[in-house]
Amino acid sequence: MSISTDKELNPWESQAARFDFAARKLGLDEGLWKILRFPAREIIVHIPVQMDDGRIEIFTGFRVQHSMARGPAKGGVRFSPDVNLDEVRALASWMTWKCAVVNIPFGGAKGGIICDPKKMSMAELERMTRRYTAELVEFIGPEKDVPAPDMNTNEQTMAWMMDTYSMHMRQTVNAVVTGKPLNIGGSRGRREATGRGVMIVCNEAIKKLGMVKENTRVIVQGFGNVGSHAAQLMANAGYKVIGIGEYDGGLFNKDGIDINALVEYKQRNNTIQGFPGAGKADNMELLEADCDILAPCATENVITSKNADRIKARIIAEGANGPTTAVADDILQRKNIFIIPDILANAGGVTVSYFEWVQDRQGFFWKESVVNEQLEQILVDAFDSVVHYAETHGVNNRIAAYMLAIDRVAYTIRQRGIYA
Ligand code: GLU
């Protein structure tokens, strides 16, 4: 894949390189290429927020809507000092492809605010979130664009967004965001959904490769909402979770880590550091450790041209968005590593977001077992379609997922036609 190494770490370039490659393979019409190559709408807001000490601070926020061809735009909102427009563009495009891979009726969007949430109080975060929502009030809505949690945002953030939007509409509109607390229209199973999805696709991958859970050693990078649930569900299902990486250091135990105990430890101490049931490990070195499944569940660009060659895992399951760069893809392919790409592996979250949106609009809430069964069915079908597509077209799983997704979105645009 042609991409220079100086562009390697730009997620937009990573997305575009895969898109171009897949579009060429598909023989995508040039007009459709032009439509899908770039986002449909990019909104930048500069939000004034009164800080606790009385000062006024201006925060820059984004909402990029890549496509609304297959339904309302859909995707999370992240709070981080590293947020930038190119990253949000890439993440918005990935949402379009992700929703198309699992065949749910949404387009793709993403939002973000440049801020350091660790240095802000709850009250400051609330004021910032509410003002951001108010600035976007014309652009979001159950039929337009439905935000959700992402990095450093959570159920509380969604409750504030839902309330602010509802105040503007003069009525409660719970379907405007997903990932809400259960009490105000959230879905059972949403919190664990992304991690559960990672486990479901791993179950399918090991079945395909003739492996069994009990002998499958797993390393998970990230112990936030995605990584902790993936690790816990996998450990409880019989996998041997031997390593956990976190930004402030990792843990390793070749005999397996007691993940239920680790979850409790983190709840008490707010870190995994010092956990007695495992030795210390370096977060980046863990990626290169001997294991069967590596699940990067933290952030972008952790598998790059600098370390891809040293990765020993048989399977990589991408719980994060964009953890592997396009340059690293080629190296991993040469090593014959079985990749479950982000737009499939982490699609469990948005799939249960879809269920949440459906439940809110119906005003009827499902049992957790129903949510989990429906999720499993969707992800198993999507996994089969991607792997089958890869085998029949002679491409890797990532390109197969992009091709499948681009084809579905392009078909919809052709069918709808271009409004003049
Ligand atoms: N932020 C999550 C993702 O990247 C969830 C998006 C959603 O539920 O809309 O897939």
Say what the pLDDT of residue 60 is: 98
Which of 74, 150, 226, 318 to probe ligand 1 with, by most ligand atoms within 8 A of CB?
A: 150
What's the mean pLDDT in 369-396?
Answer: 98
Domains 40-183 and 187-420 equal at CATH topology level: yes
Host H or E run for residue 79:
strand 73-80
Q: How far apart are CA 180 and CA 159, in angstroms?
A: 6
Q: How far apart are CA 254 and CA 256, in angstroms?
A: 6
Ligand 1 centre to CA of 287 (Å) is 24
What's the mean pLDDT in 219-247?
Answer: 98
Nearest atom (ligand 1) to Cα of 74: 9
Say what the pLDDT of residue 279 is: 97
Domains of the chain by residue range: 40-183, 187-420
**Cα-to-chain-centroid distance, residue 91:** 8
Looking at 74, 98, 110, 240, which residue is catalytic? Answer: 110
Question: What percent of the chain shows pLDDT beyond 90?
Answer: 98
Architecture of domain 187-420: 3-Layer(aba) Sandwich (3.40)
What's the mean pLDDT in 328-340?
Answer: 97
Asked whether 75 lines ligand 1 (CB < 6 A), one says yes
If one looks up domain 40-183 in CATH, what number appears? 3.40.50.10860
Say what the pLDDT of residue 236 is: 98
At 284-328, the pLDDT tens digits run 999 999 999 999 999 999 999 999 999 999 999 999 999 999 999
Half-sphere exposure of 158 (CA within 13 A, CB side): 31
Q: How far apart are CA 352 and CA 186, in angstroms?
A: 10
At residue 75's C-alpha, the angle toward residues 364 and 80, to 5°, is 125
Say what the pLDDT of residue 420 is: 86
pTM of the complete model: 0.97
